[in-house]
Structure 1
Amino acid sequence: MSALRRLAPLGAGLLLLTTACTSGADGPGGGDGGSGPPATDAEAAERAEAVLGEMSLDDKVGQLLVLNAAGTTPDENAQAIADYRPGGLIYFPENLGSPAEIAELSNGLQETAAGEGAGVPLMLGVDQEQGMVARLEEGTRFPDAMAVGATRDTGQAEALASATAAELSAVGINLDYAPVADVNTDADNPVIGIRSFGADPGLVGRMASAEAGAFADGGVVPVVKHFPGHGDTGTDSHTGLPVIEKDRADWERDDLPPFAEAVDAGVDAIMTAHVVMPALDDSGEPATLSPEVIDGVLRDELGYDGVVTTDALNMEGVRQTHDDGEVAVRAVEAGADQLLMPPDPEAAFAAVRSAVDEGRIGEDRLDASVRRILELKAKRGILDAEPVDPDAAAEVFSSDDTAAAAQGLADASVTMLRNEGGALPVDEGARVAVQGVGAEEISAALEDLGVRTTGTASGADLVVVGTNGARGDAEQRRAVEQAASGGAPVAVVAQGTPYDLQALPDVDAYLAVYSSVPVSRTAAARAVAGEVDPKGELPVPIPETGMEYGDGLSY
């Protein structure tokens, strides 16, 4: 049986799950900032064809590049925009100040791009997954994706994405490299972990598609990542090249469903992973450079016709066997449309330009990528973007409703996995010692709730110890052991993955909040005090503990 026929039932089976998300992925692209009105597919195609017809070869090659933004002013980017005419730029913290400053930078960059080549507006992107991956210093901080998974509520995923999109749109950012659709099946995964919604493919698919739809509805292009899956690896592709040794059937069962659901929902863009998966391509090339993975599986088998972007090309996972120019060319040959963060933009531009001149990359192939990029820009209103209002941006970033949504998500995510002797919630009038990771914020939140706190375990009725990665941190484990030696019950608040329970088998109570952002620490305090009934459900099994997917206690 062919691979295509084996995938067909899976796609059909997912159709019912994705119906509710399809309108989101194809829905309105306008927002309060930047983007113009959305276009229908037919209007977007017509507009893209008209723009494509006005572009030179250099303009077309440039559209494939998404470069690191430089500095905090348009002038610092003017030369790169003139030289390479990039399709987009990506922001990092060093580029980002106050909301007004980001808005002014975005406006200036779009004005600069309008004066070069064909004058095509830029995709201005950022990694704002929320939780541990959030580049903007100001704005609402929601918990990580695994906390969203623990709620089992797609409405929480939509709330996160809607609020994030509103803030990004207000400052002229029209693309977010989120959500993560990786299924975290390796407890030792060093790079995904709490960035994943969980270990169940169906849960991850529902949450990722819900977020993607809400981002698009808010005028921000979502990028679902990292195809064909980065959740089952013990290597970080930023520093090495992961090899995922699993057969095709296991991949289809464990990793494929969220991406298949995203394809069915018509998601705007999908990012490749710098991982080797021999079951899909035995050449030894990472998926980013693999025609078998991108053109073969993603486009031909799954039928995806949207924009494919590489993961960052400055990562070691994609730089081990070719120079930077050759990497860019091979990514295009494999089927990628956008080249994210080439470490040497001049080399990438020149290599792709030469490959087109020499016929290695046909002009029709180049046009196909540029057409997809332009259609997406038209569809989400980027081709008609208006300047954003810097003075209004701060108001969007200070919304009480958004802050309440973040706290509501955090409260709903709290998962209680142990409560020996009814250690939680703490009795009225009890003294609680708070130690370890996040102690200051957890203690402050308890005090706000009227709970008496102390920094020392001596004389305490309960000791709360915060952890984050205790499985790999002997000092954190010792802190829990020392807390237990005082005789009072010990409640651990795990603020990273819930797998810390493996290393702390004897604690009296164990709360997982899956994030170290302030609202998650407040949610933990609220659960300790009994203000929140922990209703979260474990989104991953915890090996060697007996804890299974879906476990969770309540008061």
Structure 2
Amino acid sequence: MLRRSVLMCSAAALAAASLPEDAWAGPGDPVAKLLSGLSLEQKVGQLFVGYVYGDNATAPSAADAAANTARYGVASGAEVVRRYHLGGVIYFTWSHNLGGGPAQIAALSNGLQAAARADAGIPLQISTDQEGGIVNRIGAPLAISPGNMAAGATADPGAALRAARVSGQELLALGINVVDAPVVDVNTNPRNAADGPRAFGDRTAAVALFGAAAVAGYRAAGIGAQAKHFPGLGDTTVNTDNGVAVTDETREQILATHVPPFVAAIAAGVPSIMAAHIVAPALDPSGAPASLSRPIVTGLLRERLRFDGVVVTDALDAAALAGLTQEQIVLGALDAGIDQLLMPADPPRAVRAVLDAVAAGTLTEARIDQSVRRILRMKRALGLFDRGDAPAPVVGTPEHLQTMADIAARSVTKLKGAGLPLAAGSSVLVTGWGVSTTQTLTDGLAARGLSATRLWTGSPSPALIAQAVAAAQTAAATVVTTNNAWSDPTQVALVQALLATGRPVVVAAVGGPYDIAYFPTAPAYLAVYGYQPPSLAALADALTGRAGTPGRLPVTIRTPDGASVLYAFGSGSS
């Protein structure tokens, strides 16, 4: 049924939809009661999702206390939550939230929740970007998903559901109640620096099916999901974290190709959608980024797609918004129809901008109430008002680890296989991209009976390429890892130099699978779509013949100029 609804979704169908009547308020509505008890300052605080420094809510290190003070004017995360009445906090490794293991993360979550409840009695949304694959904030001992494109390569939407369910259960054990996933962008541009293997693939119907399955998996785990990045980043080349991304596609192309996965996610019950900073002139001729665009957020997402859940911006400190003031950003987002403001560059100034706008009469309290209702409704639906402290976390169970390992094993895609499997006991050189990636793969091959040595080259200099070529001359075979080699000519130079030796070479793509277009004469080429431990273990099994290569390309690989197809969607050999 879902497949049929996705395939039938068209520009005409979207245009025929209309926004339902507002059915929030009522005499017995618990959200209305909660809202009526909040001050204006507390309501405004609910709109913001920020980050705090430290691995402890009340006793941060001196460095983290100084960082909080510089950003917020108070020293601890708990004080930040109370002073600004924050509706949400997002965790990162670089803000030192996630470095102490599961017990530390759960304790931090409990401490921040205590501060939120002591302030306004409203539980805190705690989130992180745990997509799996190449965007993964928390590592072992959690069971780590191989990522979206790896799931797509299994050709089984159930893989996305199972990965999401496991990941969601483990995040909840840490007190994290919203996951900033899944990415439901359709990766139609092979040179996409924002998505690549973060996407399920390049076919609209398939991405819609896998995205909806992931939403269902997170729902089954009891965690809030967040479909991103509306209206779709799949056709761009620029990551909006680093610059301005513009799509030149027509309105009809965007509605037919990139919007249907969001329709499917809404049908699957996704509670939150992230608006991208992409500029889509066909949807908004003003040139405003989607996150600040009323035609895109209110006109398309709210009114035509009938989404009445929470809409959050992408990070407001992104380079795509450079040149705009804090006032222009936060007030523009609210005017567009946004509910949650993620990571403003200057939080005190951003909060003050909203309060000042209300005082000046340019922003109504009723407009703020509209967003806070949605936020409170989502928090109630997720059961946050009923939850106590996160218990002693149980993560990385054998069952969970096996789930992720099975998905990774089913994703390995072989496009060329000369010389595979590698002979037992043979000497193998592992080189290429990734310090930990090449080391983990070397250890895995050694554990499977090969005499494996490692020479990490990263983005190699001519001297390092010469070292790798010399080492390859004495090895029975060389395994070279690549990651988005299309954007790094030095990786291409390394592979071409190794191929020129005439010695056996296996190229293993640990990012997107598109790299083979830049060295098509490679005799052996495997794609695993990521470099998390399950994917590297599956790669080692495939290289040594302990497992097959059942994966199929979830994208089409073209020549670098795009003129012809090298490997069609669904390619791969067992």
Secondary structure of 1:417's match? strand
In structure 2, relative to structure 1, the CA distance for the partners of 1:144 and 1:158 (3 Å cut) is: same
8 Å contact kept, 1:126–1:173:
yes
Q: Please state if 1:495 is matched with 2:499.
A: no
Residue 240 of structure 1 is matched in structure 2 by 243
CA displacement 1:110-147 (0-9 Å, x = unmatched): 1111111x321100111111122111243222222111
Residue 409 of structure 2 is matched in structure 1 by 411
Residue 467 of structure 2 is matched in structure 1 by none
1:60 equivalent among 16, 37, 43: 43
Q: Matches of residues 22-421 of structure 1 in structure 2 within 5 Å?
A: 46-75=29-58, 76-93=76-93, 94-96=96-98, 97-116=100-119, 118-138=120-140, 139-320=142-323, 322-389=324-391, 392-393=392-393, 396-419=394-417
In structure 2, relative to structure 1, the CA distance for the partners of 1:449 and 1:44 (3 Å cut) is: farther
User: C-alpha distance in 2, partners of 1:69/1:373?
Assistant: 20
8 Å contact kept, 1:275–1:286:
yes
User: C-alpha distance in 2, partners of 1:70/1:208?
Assistant: 32
User: C-alpha distance in 2, partners of 1:146/1:274?
Assistant: 23
Q: Please state if 1:435 is matched with 2:434.
A: no
TM-score by length of 1: 0.88
Return the structure number with greater relative CO, CA threshold 8 A, min gap 6.
Answer: 1
Residue 475 of structure 1 is matched in structure 2 by 490
Residue 73 of structure 2 is matched in structure 1 by none
2:13 equivalent among 9, 21, 27: 9
Secondary structure of 1:115's match? helix
8 Å contact kept, 1:417–1:551:
no
User: C-alpha distance in 1, partners of 2:438/2:50?
Assistant: 39
Secondary structure of 2:254's match? helix
The letter for the 1-side match of 2:206 is L
8 Å contact kept, 1:44–1:379:
no
In structure 2, relative to structure 1, the CA distance for the partners of 1:430 and 1:95 (3 Å cut) is: closer
In structure 2, relative to structure 1, the CA distance for the partners of 1:489 and 1:204 (3 Å cut) is: same
How much has 1:44 moved relative to structure 2? 13
User: C-alpha distance in 1, partners of 2:544/2:493?
Assistant: 25
Secondary structure of 1:532's match? coil
The letter for the 2-side match of 1:432 is V
CA displacement 1:293-340 (0-9 Å, x = unmatched): 0000000011111100011111121243x3112211111111000011
Secondary structure of 2:238's match? coil
In structure 2, relative to structure 1, the CA distance for the partners of 1:137 and 1:551 (3 Å cut) is: closer
Secondary structure of 2:127's match? strand
The letter for the 1-side match of 2:83 is D
How much has 1:163 moved relative to structure 2? 1.4
8 Å contact kept, 2:52–2:89:
yes
Residue 573 of structure 2 is matched in structure 1 by 554
In structure 2, relative to structure 1, the CA distance for the partners of 1:92 and 1:181 (3 Å cut) is: same
How much has 1:43 moved relative to structure 2? 12
The letter for the 2-side match of 1:186 is N
CA displacement 1:26-67 (0-9 Å, x = unmatched): xxxxxxxxxxxxxxx999993212211211111111111111
Secondary structure of 1:95's match? coil
User: C-alpha distance in 2, partners of 1:11/1:127?
Assistant: 32
User: C-alpha distance in 1, partners of 2:268/2:169?
Assistant: 22
Q: How many pairs are equivalent?
A: 516
Residue 419 of structure 2 is matched in structure 1 by 423
How much has 1:454 moved relative to structure 2? 5.1
Residue 463 of structure 2 is matched in structure 1 by none
Secondary structure of 1:112's match? helix
Secondary structure of 2:90's match? strand
In structure 2, relative to structure 1, the CA distance for the partners of 1:501 and 1:326 (3 Å cut) is: same
User: C-alpha distance in 2, partners of 1:193/1:351?
Assistant: 36
Secondary structure of 2:414's match? strand
The letter for the 2-side match of 1:223 is Q
How much has 1:265 moved relative to structure 2? 2.2
How much has 1:386 moved relative to structure 2? 0.5
How much has 1:263 moved relative to structure 2? 1.9
8 Å contact kept, 2:78–2:111:
no
Q: Could you tell which deviates more after superposition, 330-339 or 457-466?
A: 457-466
How much has 1:8 moved relative to structure 2? 5.2
CA displacement 1:401-423 (0-9 Å, x = unmatched): 1211221111111111123xx42
In structure 2, relative to structure 1, the CA distance for the partners of 1:461 and 1:10 (3 Å cut) is: farther
TM-score by length of 2: 0.85
In structure 2, relative to structure 1, the CA distance for the partners of 1:507 and 1:12 (3 Å cut) is: farther
8 Å contact kept, 2:425–2:451:
yes
User: C-alpha distance in 2, partners of 1:105/1:44?
Assistant: 37
CA displacement 1:171-192 (0-9 Å, x = unmatched): 1110111110111111111121
Secondary structure of 2:428's match? strand
Q: Please state if 1:521 is matched with 2:536.
A: yes
User: C-alpha distance in 2, partners of 1:274/1:216?
Assistant: 27
User: C-alpha distance in 2, partners of 1:343/1:44?
Assistant: 39
Residue 542 of structure 1 is matched in structure 2 by 557
User: C-alpha distance in 1, partners of 2:556/2:415?
Assistant: 11
In structure 2, relative to structure 1, the CA distance for the partners of 1:491 and 1:111 (3 Å cut) is: same
8 Å contact kept, 1:66–1:339:
yes
8 Å contact kept, 2:10–2:255:
no
